[in-house]
Structure 1
Amino acid sequence: MANIYGYCRCSTNETRQDITRQERELKALGVTNNKYIYKEYESGTKVNRVELQRLLDSVSEGDTIVATEVSRITRSTKQLCEIIEIAKNKHLKLILGSFVVDCTKELDPMTEGMLKMMGVFSELERNMISQRVKSGVANARSKGKIVGRPSLTINNVPQKVKDMYDLYKSGSISKTDYAKMCSVSRPTLDKYLKIILEG
């Protein structure tokens, strides 16, 4: 029996709520089983994505892969062409939003061409966004503005972290307890400890 698989993706700098919205849309497009939804938090330009590869390895002849749009599957035209070839070889159906590519039978050349054009525009959009960001950063730097997160100093370390440092240093409390008592995450505490040691 053929299965319907869903794939949703967010870049790591996007919110997880966006994945939830995609999941709802995937269900509206026919994905009925949650275990068949593959979720990824990676850039669409990254070629080696673990969940996408797991999905492509899982599907078999007659299955359907659903995504809310072409750019969720990939923003790389080259990779999109590779996915089309996999779909043709495995006789899969691709549903990308309102665009349906049926490879369970011989793929219509016009449909394949349209899909590849959508891939080109998706990659172009990504490259234009990237170029605008780089241009904005360069412009800000040329005006003497500090770009990115400001570097932390000893003044940024909360007083409670400083006050309890001796307890941690003496081994009276573990790093996990130290973080909990100061209401910070372990990675944040590590940053603070690095600043304290350097100070």
Structure 2
Amino acid sequence: MILGYVRVSTVEQNEARQLVTMEKYNVEKVFTEKVSAKDTNRPELQELLEYVREGDTVVIHDFSRLARSTKDLLDIVELFEYKNVTLISAKENIDTSTPTGKLMLTMIGAINEFERTNLLERQREGIAIAKAEGKYKGRKEVKVDNFEEYYSKYKNRELNKSQLAKELGVSRPTLDKLIKEHEENNAK
């Protein structure tokens, strides 16, 4: 069976280009989620990892959709190898059923992690310089008028967190922060 994994980091992002890849490879079943790839603890990824069977092929648009770190990527590939599952990454043109594909996967994973580490380091340096010059203020604080009304709906189970976040137009982590701040302010 040909399976696909599609992931975007936030609800606002669009997975259209990844879905084009799924069509191109005639993917029969797609696992889709809108969460960060900070680790492999993602519901749809875990479902995919449990679902795959010997002889299946998993198609991804690119490696960054599957894993953020080389370690996570290689752990997933190792699990696929154990289950005799092929991984195809369209953007990198890698097919793990070939020796060249296996070699390239290891090299690309290492390069991706190197690039990500360098990017984060440059970002930290830039923020430090901007702070020293008094130019960095951080992200703008998210304020929601009449949050108490929305919070009551959440507490009364009229809305779950996903619905509430969508209604407020914020991400789940931002909603969690708003709820925590609201509860701390009301506990005083």
| Structure-2 change in CA distance of 1:117 and 1:44 (3 Å) | farther
Q: AA paired with 2:96?
A: V
Cα deviation, residue 64, structure 1: 0.7
Cα deviation, residue 120, structure 1: 0.8
Question: How many residues get paired?
Answer: 165
Aligned partner of 2:4 in structure 1 is 6
Q: AA paired with 1:101?
A: T
From 20, 23, 27, the counterpart of 1:27: 23
Which residues in structure 2 correspond to 1:110-189 (within 5 Å)?
110-151=100-141, 175=152, 185=168
CA distance, structure 2, for counterparts of residue 90 and residue 157 of structure 1? 48
From 76, 80, 100, the counterpart of 1:83: 76
Q: Secondary structure at the match of 1:23?
A: helix
Q: AA paired with 1:51?
A: E
Cα deviation, residue 157, structure 1: 7.7
Q: AA paired with 1:119?
A: G
| Structure-2 change in CA distance of 1:151 and 1:22 (3 Å) | closer
| Structure-2 change in CA distance of 1:45 and 1:157 (3 Å) | closer
Larger Rg: 1
Identical aligned residues as a percent:
34
Report the RMSD for the aligned CA atoms in angstroms. 3.5
CA distance, structure 2, for counterparts of residue 69 and residue 157 of structure 1? 36
The gaps in structure 2 that reach 5 residues or longer are: 154-166, 170-174
Q: AA paired with 2:124?
A: K
The TM-score normalised by the length of structure 1 is 0.67
Q: Deviations over 1:28-87 (max 9, x none)?
A: 1221x3xx2112333334232222121111000111100011222112111222222212
CA distance, structure 1, for counterparts of residue 51 and residue 44 of structure 2? 10
